[in-house]
């Protein structure tokens, strides 16, 4: 079984027009909400083998918070340019490139790609993937290249509003 945990970056600043989109940092509230979600998942011992993040500042900072809370080895922390401004197919391409001895990965990125990918497997519709929101998908396969064609299920969804 292969599992991917999709994480939308934390709440980012929209106020400062000095920052290009890729350089927008997390807000204090974004850091707080992300830490709350990361600690919740750490308490559940989810066991991430690889953490892949967009290079955008808000996603990278979100990924660092998760890596710290989940004890991800620095060698398993990967910045992947294609996750920024991605389509769902780009996220699937990242998954297809993983070695099959890796079974559980986390991808920190952006809407709409993460929301659209998660929506393909969710039987109960949801409006969007909120900032710091998490959706875990389990694929019934032993190879990453088959994740695009095999059956999958949503194992869990955690949104900051659920933990308040």
- In the chain, where the domains are located: 2-163
Note whether 157 and 140 are within 8 A (CB): no
Q: Give 2-163's CATH code, choosing from 3.40.50.1240, 3.40.50.1980, 3.40.190.10, 3.40.50.10420.
A: 3.40.50.1240
Q: Quick one: pLDDT at residue 151?
A: 84
Chunked mean pLDDT (size 10), the chain, 164 residues: 97 77 94 97 95 98 97 96 95 96 98 91 79 96 93 91 86
Q: Quick one: pLDDT at residue 16?
A: 60
Q: Quick one: pLDDT at residue 62?
A: 98
Q: How far is CA 34 from CA 1, 2, 10, 95, 114, in A?
A: 27, 24, 6, 23, 16
């Amino acid at each position: 079984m292969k599992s991917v945990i999709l994480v939308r970056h934390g709440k980012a600043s929209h106020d400062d027009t000095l920052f290009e989109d890729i350089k927008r940092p997390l807000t204090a509230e974004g850091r707080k909400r992300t830490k709350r979600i990361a600690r919740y998942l750490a308490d559940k011992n989810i066991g991430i083998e690889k953490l892949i993040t967009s290079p955008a500042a808000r996603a990278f900072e979100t990924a660092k918070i998760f890596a710290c809370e989940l004890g991800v080895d620095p060698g398993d922390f990967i910045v992947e340019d294609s996750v920024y401004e991605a389509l769902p197919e780009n996220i699937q391409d990242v998954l297809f490139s993983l070695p099959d001895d890796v079974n559980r990965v986390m991808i920190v990125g952006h809407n709409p790609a993460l929301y659209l990918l998660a929506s393909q497997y969710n039987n109960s519709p949801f409006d969007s993937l909120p900032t710091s929101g998490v959706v875990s998908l389990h694929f019934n396969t032993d190879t990453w290249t088959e994740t695009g064609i095999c059956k999958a299920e949503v194992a869990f969804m955690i949104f900051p509003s659920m933990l308040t």
